[in-house]
Amino acid sequence: MEAMNGSANIGPGGLVSGMDHAAFENAFGLMTDSFEGYEGINNHMGSRLTQDKDAMARLMQILKKRGLYFVDSKTIDTSVAARQAAAAGIPYAERDVFLDHQDTEAFVAAALVKTEAVAKRRGYAVAIGHPKDHTINALKRWIPTLKAKGIELVPVKAVLTVPQANAATPPSSAEVIAVQPETQKTEDAEEAVPEKFRPDLSLPTPQIWLPEQPAQSPAP
C-alpha cells in the first residue's frame, strides 16, 4: 500500500490513493489472486493509504465481498483502517508491537518482552516482524519460554475484533483511542467502548499472534 514516502517501491499491484474504483479493485485482485489458502490480509507499508477514509472504505467493501479480515500494521498512528473495518462489519486486528524496526537480536528481544507485557495486561497482543535472521534467531530462543509464562501463540483470527454485521456507525474517535494498543484503560474508558467493538478478552491465557505464513499477507 502507498506510503508517505512517495518514492517507496510498493511493488506491482500496489494500492495507491487516487485510483478509481475499477483500478483499485483490479490491483487488489492482482495481488490476492496470486495466492490461495488465506483468510485475511495485512498491509505492508501503507502509511498514506491507511489514512485515506475513502480508500479504506473501498478496501473494506472488497474484503467484505471476499469474506476476508484485515490486520492493520499501524504504520502510522492516524490510520483509519480499523474504524472503516468496524463500519463495514469486517473482522479486524491492529498491530501492537513491531519486532524488528532495528535489525539486531537485542532489539527484537526487547520488543518480545514488550509484546509479553501487552498480552499479560490486555489478554492478547499482535506482534509483526519480518523473516530476518536476527528476528528468527530471537524467536527460536523466545518461543520455548512461553509455556512457563502462561502465554500461547495463536492464529490472528483468534484475537480479531468482530463488529456486529449490521453495525450502523463506526466507533467515535474517543472509542477508537480507548481500545488502542498499549493504552492503559481506566474502568470508565472501558465502559465508554460499546461491547460490539471490544476485542474478545475471555481467552484463557494471554494470546500473542506472530505472522506464520507469508501467504496470509498477500499485499506487497
Q: Which residue has the higher pLDDT, 144 or 201?
A: 144
* Cell (9 digits) for 141: 530462543
Direct distance between the N- and C-terminal alpha carbons of the chain, in angstroms, rounded to an integer = 7
Instruction: Compute, in degrees rounded to 10, the torsion defined by CA atoms 107, 219, 96, 91.
Output: -160
Neighbours of 147 (CB within 10 A): 10
User: Which range, of 52-61, 67-76, 175-184, averages the lowest pLDDT?
Assistant: 175-184
- Assess contact for 108 and 129: CB atoms under 8 A: yes
What Å distances lie between residue 151 and 7, 104, 140, 143, 148, CA to CA?
Answer: 40, 24, 15, 10, 8
- Any idea where the domains of the chain sit in the sequence? 1-95, 96-155
pTM greater than 0.75 (yes/no)? no
pLDDT digits (tens, 9 = 90+) for 73-88: 998 999 999 999 999 9
CATH architecture observed for domain 1-95: Alpha-Beta Barrel (3.20)
Q: What share of the chain is helix, strand, coil (3-state, %, to 5)?
A: 45, 10, 45
d(CA 171, CA 155): 25
- By three-state DSSP, how is residue 215 classified? helix
Q: What is the sign, positive or negative, of the torsion defined by CA atoms of 185, 42, 98, 129?
A: positive
Residue range 114-129: average pLDDT? 95
Partner residues linked to 152 by β-bridges: 207
Per-residue confidence (pLDDT) for residue 207, from 0 to 100: 53
pLDDT digits (tens, 9 = 90+) for 159-179: 999 997 544 444 433 222 223
Name the pLDDT band for 208 (thresholds 50, 70, 90).
low
Q: DSSP per residue over 151-177, as a string?
A: -EE--GGGG-B---TT--SPPPHHHHH
